[in-house]
């Protein structure tokens, strides 16, 4: 009786008895969509910015890198200028124009409503950072410099609660106490993951918004 041919490379095992390339794997041997090849592991549990993460195709951007420190600072300056312009326009009705034209030593050009104007600026800053990050992960400054806020554990879109926490720390505390806002932003300069304090509070990082990579906010 003729024996089936044996392959020396497989230890003499007949070819038809050798396992196929995908046997022993789930569902006929093909890995689930978005999973790594069989026998390989993904580095789960590592904070974003230290090791790559295994994001779902079409939602995350595994190849994205942390945004540069100067890009972050530049975006913050642009945002503050925008908020300052809007606040200035709102405060115009409260300006005492007589004191502007004829200034007196020790007096302010604002009327007694200056405190209310400052409160409006804090509220505007809070809403601006909260709503724009919750919807797009970007403010106008971040859009111009092509950077984006994502979760620090998997690079996905941040939650509404995370956007709220960032805005409350940065917009409200920074507006009430300028020293807190200064330390918050300056933290970017020496932090290894380029995070500000409000990033650490909300567990977020800022990455490059490469148009060639998937945008996790596309389905918001």
Chunked in runs of 10, what are the mean pLDDT values of the chain (220 residues)? 54 53 46 45 46 39 77 92 87 67 61 67 90 96 96 92 92 70 86 91 94 88
Helix (H) or strand (E) holding 2, with range, is: none
pLDDT (0 to 100) of residue 45: 42
0.75 exceeded by the pTM? no
Q: Is 114 exposed, middle or buried (0-12, 13-18, 19+ CB in 10 A)?
A: middle
pLDDT at 55: 38
Largest CA distance in the chain: 117
Provide the residue ranges of all domains of the chain, joining segments of one domain with +.
69-208
Q: Measured between alpha carbons, how far is 189 from 196 in angstroms, rounded to an integer? A: 9
């Amino acid at each position: 009786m003729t024996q089936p041919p044996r392959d020396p490379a497989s230890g003499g095992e007949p070819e038809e008895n050798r396992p196929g390339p995908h046997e022993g794997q789930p569902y006929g041997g093909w890995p689930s969509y978005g999973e790594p090849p069989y026998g390989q592991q993904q580095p789960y549990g590592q904070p974003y910015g230290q090791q790559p993460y295994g994001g779902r195709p079409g939602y995350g951007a595994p190849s994205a890198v942390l945004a540069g420190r100067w890009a972050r600072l530049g975006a913050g300056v642009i945002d503050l200028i925008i908020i300052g312009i809007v606040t200035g326009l709102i405060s115009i009705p409260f300006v005492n124009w007589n004191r502007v034209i004829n200034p007196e030593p020790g007096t302010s050009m604002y009327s007694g409503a200056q405190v209310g104007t400052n409160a409006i600026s804090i509220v505007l800053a809070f809403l601006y950072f909260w709503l724009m990050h919750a919807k797009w992960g970007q403010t106008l400054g971040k859009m111009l410099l092509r950077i984006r806020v994502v979760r620090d554990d998997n690079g996905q879109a941040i939650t509404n609660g995370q956007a709220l926490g960032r805005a409350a720390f940065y917009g409200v505390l920074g507006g009430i106490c300028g020293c807190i806002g200064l330390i918050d932003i300056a933290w970017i300069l020496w932090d290894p993951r380029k995070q500000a304090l409000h990033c650490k509070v909300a567990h977020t990082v800022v990455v490059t918004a490469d148009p060639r990579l998937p945008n996790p906010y596309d389905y918001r």
